[in-house]
Every structure is written in structure tokens, then in C-alpha cells.
Amino acid sequence: MGDLKDLIEYIAKALVDNPDVVSVKEIPGEKTVIYELKVGEGDLGKIIGREGKTAKAIRTIISAAAMKKGKRAVLEILE
Amino acid sequence: MRYIEEEGRTVEEALEKALEKAGIDRSEARFEVLSEGLGDEPARVRLYQDAEELDLIEGLIKEFLGILTSRVDVEIEPRKKGYYVNIHTRGYDSALIGRGGKTLEALEYLINLMLRRKKSNLQVELDISHYRERRKEFLKNKALAVARRVKETGKEMRIDPLTPEERRLVRDTLRKDRSIRVYLVGRGGEATLVVAPAKRSRSS
């Protein structure tokens, strides 16, 4: 599901101050794919958002897109 | 260059319409008169729009959702505050709307966040294949139907849980009807609107 990885990367890069250090790692599983999103120092808040609203929105979209492909996706956000 | 064209009985009227539609102030308007509106001919004007914001919105949405699907169509209509943006994707419409429009809400939130980082104050209302417009129409009709029923039976009725925005729409739809009243019971996610007769039927 390379396009989901690209989608996460696109969103993250558009929201942070340091897009150059954004990286996404895809860890495939049988039914569930885990995405590890890593952002630069100080950018975590931009991805999480107030009361986690931004992270929740990203997860909602990623889940919807994954479901369309018959998979489950989990997004981990790291600094 | 983007523009819109409008017709009217006079140039003035056509221009008014175009300005209204584009949300442009008269002092900033750049327009051309295509027809003066003599005789049976309607007057026609072409009003040029600020392409920067429109290109920004269209570019971002196409680039973003283009990662998922091979085709994204974007229609943008200026509104008093920001823009109404209706998109249509190949194969992803229902996935991106989600149950009760949940995914659409998340998408709108993220797109606005991304747009505001490119240009502050830029704000869009996102729609997918006119889902929101259709939902609004459905809710208005439902509100009116419930109100009619309440008036017929003299008994109050609940309207299933709605989002705060949808509750506002129901209240606005029924505001002018003096023979009923609308109130809220419950809180948070369980809040429900109740439509009741304005006067208790027993006392009347």
C-alpha cells in the first residue's frame, strides 16, 4: 500500500516546519499495516494538533483509504 | 486567467450578479462588458477572478488526493466566507465521505490546515459529489415533515442525533414556525432535538 505511505508523507510535510526530515516507514502485516511517521524535533505538536485533533483526522483518512483496499492501517507518530 | 460570466437586463444588474457570485468587492473588480444589453439581447459581463487562491486550492486537492486515485475533479464556488469546494474522485467518493460524513469532516479539517499554512485565512467548505448539499436538503425536508406530524398529533417527536451543525440547520428551518418549539435534550454525542407543539395540547 505504497500510496498510503505517500499520503501520510504528503500530509505530514504540508503541516510541519521541517519537511525535509519527515519520514514514513511501512511495516507490512497480514491484515494490518503499521506506518511509523517520524517528524523533526519540535514538529510533533503540528502533527498531533490541539487535543489530538490533527492526529485523529489523519488516522480517520488513512483508515478509510486502507479499508477501501480491505486492510487495516495503524499510524504511529514519533519524534 | 479565471473568470465568470453573468447576464442581466442591464450591465449593472449583470455585474451585480457576478460580483455577488464571485464574492468580489466592487472596488477591486476587473471586468469586461461583453454585451450592452440593447433590444432583446441580455447584458453580459465577464468578471475576472483572483486566480491565486483558486489555483492554490485546486492544486493542493489534486496533488493530495491524486496520490489515492487516478482522477480528481474539483469545482470551486466562492462563498461569503471562503469557498465551497465540491470534489469528485474516481472510486473513492464513498470511502472519503465515510459513515455520517465523518471522513469528509476529517478531510476538510486537514485540507484547511494545509491551505492555511500556504495562505492564512484561506478557508473552504469541502463537499464530495454534493453529499453535504444533499444531506442538508434531506434534513430540511425531514424537519418540515416532523413539524407537520407534531402539529397533526399534538405530540412531541425526537429527531435522531445529529451533528451540531446539522442541529443548527434543523432549528433554522423551523425557526419561523410559531406553532412548534424545538429544544435539546441530553449532552455531547447523545444530544437529541425534540420538536414539540408550542402550546401544550391539553391546555388549549
pLDDT in tens, B36-62: 988 888 999 999 887 788 899 999 999
A6, B67: Cβ pair inside 8 Å? yes
Q: What is the mean pLDDT of chain B?
A: 90
- Would you say domain B3-48 falls under CATH 3.30.30? yes
B95, A3: Cβ pair inside 8 Å? no
Residue of A nearest to B115 (CA): A14
Residue of B nearest to A49 (CA): B113
- B204 confidence band (pLDDT: 50, 70, 90): very low
**Res. B153: pLDDT tops 70:** yes
A15, B113: Cβ pair inside 8 Å? yes
- In this prediction, residue B202 carries a pLDDT of 53
Q: Which among A1, A2, A9 has a CA at the least distance from the CA of A58?
A: A9
List of chain B residues whose C-beta atoms are within 8 Å of the C-beta of residue A37: none
List of chain A residues whose C-beta atoms are within 8 Å of the C-beta of residue B67: 3, 6-7, 10
Residue of B nearest to A67 (CA): B95
**Res. B200: pLDDT tops 70:** no
pLDDT in tens, B106-127: 999 999 999 999 988 899 999 9
Query: Considering chain B, what percentage of its residues have pLDDT values greater than 90?
Result: 68
CATH for B51-129, options being 3.40.50.2300, 3.40.50.10190, 3.30.300.20, 3.40.50.300: 3.30.300.20
Lowest-confidence region among B88-102, B122-136, B154-168: B154-168
In angstroms, the separation between the Cα of residue B180 and the nearest Cα of chain A is 37
Residue of A nearest to B108 (CA): A57
pLDDT in tens, A49-65: 999 999 999 999 999 99
Domains of chain A: residue spans and CATH: 2-78 (3.30.300.20)
Query: Considering chain B, what percentage of its residues have pLDDT values greater than 70?
Result: 97
- Would you say domain B133-197 falls under CATH 3.30.1370.50? yes
Q: How far apart are CA A50 and CA B109, in angstroms?
A: 12
Task: For the beta carbon of residue A32, count every other beta carbon within 10 angstroms.
Answer: 12
CA distances in angstroms from B168 to B82, B140, B148, B156, B174, listed in the order given: 20, 11, 19, 19, 10
For B201, the grid coordinates are 395540547
B110, A53: Cβ pair inside 8 Å? no
Q: What is the mean pLDDT of chain A?
A: 94
Question: Burial letters for B13-36: b for 16+ Cβ neighbours within 10 Å, e otherwise?
Answer: bbbebbbeebebeeeeeebeeeee
Per-residue pLDDT, averaged over B188-193, amounts to 83
CA distances in angstroms from B87 to A1, B50, B64, B155, listed in the order given: 23, 20, 12, 42
Q: How far apart are CA B16 and CA B13, in angstroms?
A: 5
Q: Please state the domain extents for chain B.
A: 3-48, 51-129, 133-197
